Amino acid sequence: MSETRDIPLDELARLAHAVLRHNGFDAEHTRAIADTVLAAEHDACHSHGIYRLIGIVQACRDGLANGCAAPDVIDHAAAVVKVDAQGGFSPLAFERGLPMLIGKARRGGIAAMAISRCFHLTALWPEVERLAAEQLVGLAMTPSHAWVAPFGGKRGLFGTNPLAFAWPRPDQEPYVFDFATSAIARGDIELDAREDRALQPGWALDCAGAPTTDARAALEGAMLPFGGHKGSALATLIELVAGPLIGDLTSEQSQHFDAGHGAAPFHGELILALDPAAFAPDTTDRDAAAERLFDGIVEQGARLPSQRRRAARRQTLANGFVRVNAALVDELNRLID
Ligand code: NDP
């Protein structure tokens, strides 16, 4: 077992802010990025928690990303808001475009936000949860780098291409799922490699295209999609609609742009917002049908997605600290030396 350290929440927040500010991020990007990675850390989503700060800082140190970029929000069409992140990170670009997306969804029943030219390294659930908090149904998706082989293939072509969905529920937390279309998130494989943990069979191929459970061999080889040909097709959909459809890069193009730096993926993101009131004005019937569905899941002993995450959040807030890998904390502290 690797050494861990219990870090009080205010200390962890200070560390995240210090890492970003010390590395040239402006106050707005610092707040938006820190809020997102700290929320993931509180929810025990460690692969998208403070660990992400290393890649985020590296992308700026390599001269690829701009920690002071001012996102440009463009009223593109009745149902489309475009946000040019101008080479900055996605959390601030999302925040800046959100009010216009919400307004368009409320007026037209459905609207899309296309974020372009952004570095995206964070979890998607904080974004769709923001839509659900506005009583909107939310969907978000983004490519990454060409790390995932298509089903039946051997070479990385797709990104880990996460897809997140939120459904608002009356008087309780929304139904939310958020998953990579790869068998496992790349951040988890990176953490496994750092801690010498074996992968599960079916997650990855080595450089020669042979199945491997070695995390380092997987990072050099290719990851596999979840669900065989179905995950592969879903990954293709995300490449298309969050890439060429919005005039931005595919995961393979993002990898070329990176030119071997191994930095954060640079591409676009598509976020859809649907106003339930525009589709089925009878809220009682709609909500009752949805709740029957959720009850039907839970009654069988299954759980809803996000249940673990929210339980972890409650535990974190009760503890007042998070348990973090000690070597990671040391590495972050070195970024502010
Ligand atoms: P997981 O497989 O850990 O979880 C996927 C979803 O399924 C979660 O909503 C999870 O809820 C839910 N879930 C897990 N187990 C069960 C179960 N037994 N029953 C019901 N629901 C369950 O996610 P991934 O590893 O695929 O992805 C992790 C994160 O990585 C995501 O937040 C994603 O956005 C992010 N990511 C970001 C990328 C980027 O480019 N920015 C690229 C790829 C991934 P719960 O959390 O409660 O367990």
Reported as a single tens digit per residue, the pLDDT across 111-139 is: 999 999 999 989 999 999 999 999 999 99
The confidence score (pLDDT) of residue 177 equals 98
CATH architecture for segment(s) 75-182+225-309: 2-Layer Sandwich (3.30)
Of 28-37, 58-67, 243-252, the range with the lowest mean pLDDT is 58-67
Structure tokens of 97? Answer: 């475009």
Reported as a single tens digit per residue, the pLDDT across 173-227 is: 999 999 999 999 888 899 899 889 999 999 999 999 999 999 999 999 999 999 9
Q: Name the percent of the chain lying above pLDDT 90.
A: 90
- Ligand 1 atom with the smallest distance to the CA of 226 is 26
The confidence score (pLDDT) of residue 1 equals 64
Active site residues: 47-48, 188
Binning pLDDT at 50, 70 and 90, where does residue 99 land? very high
Reported as a single tens digit per residue, the pLDDT across 147-160 is: 999 999 999 999 99
Q: Is the CB of 185 under 6 A from ligand 1?
A: yes
Q: Is the CB of 180 under 6 A from ligand 1?
A: yes
Average pLDDT over residues 43-49: 93
The confidence score (pLDDT) of residue 121 equals 87
Q: Is the CB of 115 under 6 A from ligand 1?
A: no
User: Which residue CA neighbors atom 47 of ligand 1 most closely?
Assistant: 306
Position 29 pLDDT exceeds 70: yes
Give 116's contacts (C-beta < 8 A, 6+ positions apart). 82, 83, 84, 85, 246, 247, 248, 268
- Cα(266) to centroid(ligand 1), Å: 21
The confidence score (pLDDT) of residue 214 equals 96
- Cα(22) to centroid(ligand 1), Å: 31
Reported as a single tens digit per residue, the pLDDT across 270-285 is: 999 999 999 988 888 9
User: Which residue CA neighbors atom 9 of ligand 1 most closely?
Assistant: 177
- Cα(179) to centroid(ligand 1), Å: 4
User: Which residue CA neighbors atom 45 of ligand 1 most closely?
Assistant: 306
The confidence score (pLDDT) of residue 257 equals 86
Which of 46, 167, 179 has most ligand 1 atoms within 8 Å of CB, for mutation?
A: 179
Reported as a single tens digit per residue, the pLDDT across 70-94 is: 999 999 999 999 999 999 999 999 9
- Ligand 1 atom with the smallest distance to the CA of 308 is 47
Query: How is the chain split into domains, by residue range?
Result: 75-182+225-309
The confidence score (pLDDT) of residue 320 equals 97
15 contacts 329 by C-beta, under 8 angstroms: yes
Average pLDDT over residues 36-48: 95
Average pLDDT over residues 318-333: 96
- Cα(78) to centroid(ligand 1), Å: 32
The confidence score (pLDDT) of residue 281 equals 81
Position 238 pLDDT exceeds 90: yes
- Cα(296) to centroid(ligand 1), Å: 22
